[in-house]
Each structure stands twice: as C-alpha cells, then as structure tokens.
Chain A
C-alpha cells in the first residue's frame, strides 16, 4: 500500500515554470487574436476544458462526495486552489441569499512577473480561473458563473473573484427503449 500512497503524492513543479508558461500562452493568444475581448473569451474556454478534467483529479485525490450546500462548495473550491496552485484564498462577502461569494487572493501565482501595458487594460489576464471553476462545477451538476471584480494587475490591493450559483443541473435519466 505504501507504494500506492507515494505514487499519489502530488508531483511538485516550480511555480515559476508554470507562471511563465501561462504568460507565454497569454502572449501567444494576444498575437493570434489581436482583439482583447477574444483573448478573454479564449482563456475562459480553455479554463473550462481544463476544469472538466481537473474535477476528476480533485475528486479522486480528496474522495469527497457531493456538496450539500453552496458553503461546502466554497470550501471545496478553496481546497482545490490549495491543491493545484498552492494558495489559500479567503472566502468572504456572502450574499444574503447565500448564492454568491468572493474569493480573495493576496497573491496570485499566475500574475507574478506580470505588468499590464496600458493598452491592454481590458485584458482579464487570469481569466482561465473562472473557466476552470465553471467547468469543474458543471461536472458536479452545478451551474455557476464567476468573474473578477478586483485585480492586482489593475492596481487593486488584492485579487477578488466573485462566484455565483445559478442552478442545479438535473441528473441525466437513461434513454428510453428505442
């Protein structure tokens, strides 16, 4: 059993390598699309595709079950950030209905070594993260949306990611006899 336990140990990789690789990706997208809006969209879409797969890795490692409420989901998301990016964002600013919260990042590994040129103020540099969250939650029957309200790259003190619960997706029922 010890062999299996060590095999599941997270493979550590230098976060600088990751940061720079992500930077290259964003640069390449800016070159390919020219339009900043399109780049935001592409990053979100890529994130979505990552999230769809990442959720399986997360569940397999934590062997956690379905969430009973959105608060639990928030904690799981926080745990995910710890696991995959090595950061623990704070959960705050719950909406009264309990269907919206914010994740506050003191530091964001994606934006280390990054400065936004003035003509790219519309660029949502870390827009891959909302995509990942959307993809991962969709796979566990939850439709959410998330977006950045504060960004250190744009001069804010911290990075704030807002997450909103939209609805529960229904379980698929088997197709009838044809």
Chain B
C-alpha cells in the first residue's frame, strides 16, 4: 500500500501545495501547468458528476480509480480541495484527507497569521507536519516499485 502524491488547491484554483512520496512517473510538464490541468479536470469532473447524477447530490465527486491508482478528493465548504493519489488496494482514504485539513492545514496554515491563505504555502512547519502525518498513516509503506 502506498501514497503517491498530494495536491492542495484553493477555491480559485491556485495550487497551494504539492508533495510527492512514491511517484515513479512525472507528467513531463511544469508543476504549474500540471496543477492547472489537474484543477481543470477536478472542476469538470465535479460539475459533470453533479449534472449527470440521477439523484440529488449530497457529497458529489469522492474519488476515481484506474488500473494503477486511486485519486481521492475532498472539498471543504470553503472551496479548499484536497487531492491524494494512492494505490488501488488502499481502503477508503477520505478520513486521511479530512484529517490533513483539520489537523495540519487548519493548525499550521490558518492559525499562522504569517501564512497567507491564497498563495502557495511556504511554511516549513506545515511541510514537516504533513510529511510526518502521511508517513504515520497505516497505508503508507515502502513497496518495491
């Protein structure tokens, strides 16, 4: 079981933070372009899911799965978007994203007045805490790639 990488977007689509752990293949574009592509895809998927749903949507888009990875998606009512790519055998990872929000983002970005809330996160503290947190999760473990 593995965690590949993590994106955090704000409600305007700014890539606030990116981190990777076991990413074997790069997308071949700059991080900035990749962020835009990612955000555009998430935005379309979200709208698509809401539009096409035959029932009233409560939570909307939660994750998608390919033969190689799962993209877990969590959006707060304030429009922050947490994205975590994991391998396909990992169980539901939604609570990990929720915890990143409540225990890492709120604690080390929102409560740090020196961290601006709509620019890329520079805080070293946030960076270390997130890394520690991910490495502590049960689904994080090195696996031959």
B90 within 8 A of A: no
Contact A57 B111 (CB under 8 A): yes
**A63 to B101, alpha carbons, bound, how many Å?**
10
Of A59, A139, A175, which one neighbours B13 at CB under 8 angstroms?
Answer: A175
Residues facing A in B58-107 (CB within 8 A) are 58-59, 76-80, 98-99, 101-103, 105-106
Contact B11 A52 (CB under 8 A): no
A55 within 8 A of B: yes
**Residues of chain B contacted by A61 (CB below 8 angstroms):** 102
Residues facing B in A9-37 (CB within 8 A) are none
Contact A53 B103 (CB under 8 A): no
A174 within 8 A of B: yes
Contact B117 A60 (CB under 8 A): no
Contact A64 B77 (CB under 8 A): yes
**A59 to B110, alpha carbons, bound, how many Å?**
12
**A60 to B95, alpha carbons, bound, how many Å?**
12
A8-B102 CB under 8 A given contacts A53-B111, A56-B110, A140-B77: yes
**A139 to B79, alpha carbons, bound, how many Å?**
8
Of B11, B59, B76, which one neighbours A172 at CB under 8 angstroms?
Answer: B11
B21 within 8 A of A: no
Contact A172 B110 (CB under 8 A): no
Interface string of B105-130 (1 = CB under 8 A from A): 11000110000010000000000000
**Residues of chain A contacted by B58 (CB below 8 angstroms):** 65
Of A7, A59, A140, A173, which one neighbours B43 at CB under 8 angstroms?
Answer: A173
> Nearest residue in A to B113 (C-beta to C-beta)?
A53
Contact B103 A7 (CB under 8 A): yes
> Nearest residue in A to B102 (C-beta to C-beta)?
A60
A171 within 8 A of B: yes
A-B complex: 9 closest residue pairs judged by Cβ atoms: A60-B102, A60-B106, A56-B110, A174-B13, A139-B78, A66-B77, A140-B77, A172-B12, A53-B110
